[in-house]
Structure 1
């Protein structure tokens, strides 16, 4: 099953991925060109076969016709961004396999030197994929630096991959992403503050990561401010135990929730409230029954000792 809805799922063997990225957080997106091949499906089949013997893989391949193929689940690290070479950009960490902290996208270019101008269909598909991936995975939509962002493969390997991605529409990409960033910023609710990573409500509570992205992109009412910080919750919902554990943040009118399977979503607060009311009603009945049981079984000596105190208690 793909993480990006328009994509075709053509997974590589599990031996060719870093499962769960070994627990690391991805901060960068690395863009490539294929230097050969004619279709996204063909390149994906090449990765599936392991024809180069190096267990190479990428998360996505974008064809010149705009077809998108996913080869590696986003939760896992792919095998396309190794290794640092002399002259690499200085912000890259040098003490870790970069495949554990990056996502990677290949773009089909039949020219061996990656010199083919990118067709409009491919460019449109790639740019849409980049925005979707970056928003969901919290990758800064700007040129890469030590805090994350987007770079070409040549940034990592300027000797052997100096033409990767080669002829690439960088200016068009940055213009497109600047506009998308402005659109997200336009979604800041009135009197809230956003510094690019943290959205702060007037009451001081903060909204970050996926919950922040959701608010910025969904015309959020300024009066629906958070009542708490986000936190792990298990079970996530009393009324829907099948959701399992997740992350939750309560707001005045609703709550935002996240699971690995569903991403960020708005909870069905009415359904949850009714389930909680039913629980409270049952607990009230149970407590009353326990009190009655305790009164019925109270030792006689205790009962006799308390009788003289009854008038005093009633005056309190």
Structure 2
């Protein structure tokens, strides 16, 4: 999902001396947060590989990303339309340089790179996705999980040994010079612990000219969203009026440069002033942050990454 709000550049966070919303002026990014982790997933026809983000157990996760194995990829391979590689700047490795060696029998190998929120578990699940009848783990597939670290790069790849009847998932850490180190993953627990989620320590809003996403600062709050249009202004007013913004609790707003002229952008400063929370506001220029982290239109800044930035900044203060 994605966010959007009023245009303003990254402001150094100063919880006690934060500027009022209407007085905030664009600045160069002044609060550096180490970029998110990144993972390169290898795909090809006949391989099913799926990634689950923020996977706390087998059935609880944020996003399901199909890295390989769709029927659409198969038909593209039949007419020699290999899926394009998608990069967000990870270093080349031997596996990317020698990708063509995998291109046998319409395999059409490719890779895609994705940003990952540091500290949130990632689960990779794989199986053989062809009509040969050969499967992994009697059709149940195989899986592995790991916790990415800030600024680190990884590769995830399914390994098949048809003669030996073996399949596995290779997880590698990628250094800045492109050398790789194998990593040992872990199995994901089938059930999540029956512990209540801790209450968030801040409220996060992500807005552009079309859409507003937000997470309220309350226990177990999910991500909600509103269309950024005149018909939804009343919903915005109600949300701001009722939001659980305790004294001193940060409100982190991630914005884009076209959102200040939107319906929400014009209304928000007065709503925040009415609540008396100007000194709690931290503003972030979403486009500047995306550029700093090397994100692209294909892999844009999303709410999870924006929230990671907001939490990193507010923890420092």
Whose radius of gyration is greater, 1 or 2?
A: 1
TM-score (norm 2): 0.24
Q: Higher helix share goes to which structure?
A: 1
TM-score (norm 1): 0.24
